[in-house]
Chains A and B, each alone.
Chain A
Amino acid sequence: MFFNEEFETLPRPALEALQLKRLQSTLERVYANVPFYKASFDAAGIKPSIVSHLQDLQKLPFTTKQDMRNSYPYGLFAAPMDEIVRIHASSGTTGKPTVVGYTKKDITTWSELMARSFVAAGAHKGDIIHNAYGYGLFTGGLGAHYGAELLGASVIPISGGNTKRQIMIMQDFGSTVLTCTPSYSLFMAEESQAEGVDFKNLKLRVGIFGAEPWSESMRTEIENKLNLSAIDIYGLSEIMGPGVAIECIEAKRGLHIWEDHFIPEIINPETGELMPEGEKGELVITTITKQGIPLIRYRTRDITSLSYEPCICGRTHARIARMSGRSDDMLIIRGVNVFPSQIESVLVGIEGIEPHYMLIVDRQGTLDTLTVQVEISERLFSDEIKVLQALSRRVEKEIKDMLGVTCSAKLVEPKTIQRSEGKAQRVIDNRKLA
């Protein structure tokens, strides 16, 4: 089943010809409209016209999250603000988020790619889609929502949280498709037992899970506990949001990346050189139809590999492997992106707190936990318990306010956290994904 059979099954030569044409026009547009790209192409001595084959893409400089931060908030937009109809944002590496803008046409494209993704996952018109991705600045909720509506399914915009109510609604409304993070699906399964609800009696048929890394063994666990077919979806707000790539239900082996809108490359994160097909490296994506904020060779920092092998589903679009890690220090905690540097900037903002900290990430049952160890200093120390507890709570609240992630702050004795000597270890991640 396809949503847009013509484009999803376009023969490779035609697909690549379309990519080249779209790439060329994107390059002309960013060179003319985005000062950052004009400067970066000029600095590399490149004009958009040097791209006459897809392979020429390699000659262009990369775009990084830091570049987006330097252009905060709207510096990389290629369309005038009066054409921007939607703004989303995701975690930046420090206090400021990464901002993206969509034109009307971008929203139409995104909806179509998300609708294609639903169909690839086995959903169809008539399905009742229980969308538990967060609605708001995060792209997950609205991205899936618009795709579900375009598909013609009934979408329940439940967003995240309030698990008991989620379970009741899934049961009473007869939800057939679930969209959320994989760890939240397992949490719901756990909670449902306490509620006396058996997922085997629900009508759920398909689960579309993303926004955090997961594994094949987690897929087996989810499929057994929720009694549905679990599909991996990939996306990032910088590129679009959910629906950049998705597994097809026929193969469940690798995620088709919609190549008529994105050009994927895999590079060695150290050298920036292209990796041979099938080898692991950092995923780099160039958007070739986006108007609001087109990105050229955006370094996603996600580690995966790329395969052009034909797929049994009939789609001709390349497949990326399940994400196997990051080439930077970003953590994904209950679907929220967290950079240690963000925590650091919160801590230095609290008077008297030493900038020495350690993050301990664990998975208790099915949910991630974050513990922030902070050193007590003479200035902060009090002989009264309540003063120290108020300090812990303040750290927890400020982190929650800035990053949207719940953590537990733990005061430790001074000088017990390793000091920066070059690259200090700031994170202990005890989660086992494999």
Chain B
Amino acid sequence: MKVEQISIFIENKSGRLAEITRVLSDAGINIRALSLADTSDFGILRLIVNNGAKASEVLKEKGFTVSKTEVVAVEVPDRPGGLSAILQALDRESINVEYMYAFVERCGGNAVIIFRFDETDKAIAALQAQNFNMLEGNRLYNM
């Protein structure tokens, strides 16, 4: 149920994002989902790619700082209140969302939300109990 995300530290200076995407492109890596968090001094690029291990390897070779994190991909029903129901289920269990970002699934057309929780296993259990659909890592990597 867990999905592997890679995070990369980016200093706020021009060309860094272009450099990362070039390195990934040269290695034949496909980006499935991404989010960029930024502050006035630095940013963190979070990526889900088709081959996380290889992406980490080529980026580290180029001197980037990379870390792996486990996140959860939840399918959100395409109707009003879809996301709200998920968040309420989490709130009942006092699970904190550290951050989240969304993308649209290519095949089903549903929205998928990537969550980073403070307690990942507890969150998965809470979501399973409420029958929310979580995407397997492999399905996402090979989408």
- CB–CB B65/A383 < 8 A: no
A–B complex contacts, Cβ < 8 Å, 7 sampled: A382-B7, A383-B116, A384-B44, A388-B9, A410-B41, A413-B65, A416-B11
Which of A177-185, A188-196, A277-285, A373-381 has 4 or more CB atoms under 8 Å from chain B?
A373-381
- CB–CB A413/B39 < 8 A: no
Query: B11, B44, B63: which contacts A383 (Cβ < 8 A)?
Result: B44
- CB–CB A414/B5 < 8 A: no
A70 / chain B contacts, CB cutoff of 8 Å = none
Instruction: Convert B1-28 into 0s and 1s, putting 1 for each residue whose CB lies closer than 8 angstroms to a CB of A.
Output: 0000101011100001000000000000
Query: A376, A381, A385, A415: which contacts B37 (Cβ < 8 A)?
Result: A385
* Size of the chain A interface, CB-CB below 8 angstroms: 18
Question: Shortest Cβ distance from A392 into chain B, in angstroms?
Answer: 8
Question: Shortest Cβ distance from B70 into chain A, in angstroms?
Answer: 10
Instruction: Convert A374-407 into 0s and 1s, putting 1 for each residue whose CB lies closer than 8 angstroms to a CB of B.
Output: 0011100111110011001000000000000000
Query: B10, B65, B99: which contacts A384 (Cβ < 8 A)?
Result: B99
Chain B, residue nearest A386 (CB): B98
6 new A-B contacts, CB < 8 A, other than A385-B44, A414-B65, are A376-B9, A378-B67, A384-B99, A413-B9, A413-B10, A415-B63
C-alpha gap A392/B39 in the complex (Å):
12
Beta-carbon contacts under 8 Å, A402-426 to B: 410-416
A414 / chain B contacts, CB cutoff of 8 Å = 63, 65
Known A378-B65, A388-B44: A411·B9 in contact at CB below 8 Å? yes
- Main secondary structure, interface of A, reads loop
B7 / chain A contacts, CB cutoff of 8 Å = 381-383
A382 / chain B contacts, CB cutoff of 8 Å = 7, 67
- Main secondary structure, interface of B, reads strand
C-alpha gap A415/B65 in the complex (Å):
10
- CB–CB B65/A377 < 8 A: yes
C-alpha gap A105/B44 in the complex (Å):
61
C-alpha gap A384/B118 in the complex (Å):
11
Which among B10, B44, B116 has the highest number of chain A CB atoms within 10 Å?
B44
B9 / chain A contacts, CB cutoff of 8 Å = 376, 381, 388, 411, 413
Question: Shortest Cβ distance from A374 into chain B, in angstroms?
Answer: 11
Question: Shortest Cβ distance from A266 into chain B, in angstroms?
Answer: 44
- CB–CB A411/B67 < 8 A: no
C-alpha gap A376/B67 in the complex (Å):
12
B37 / chain A contacts, CB cutoff of 8 Å = 385
Instruction: Convert B54-76 into 0s and 1s, putting 1 for each residue whose CB lies closer than 8 angstroms to a CB of A.
Output: 00000000011111010000000
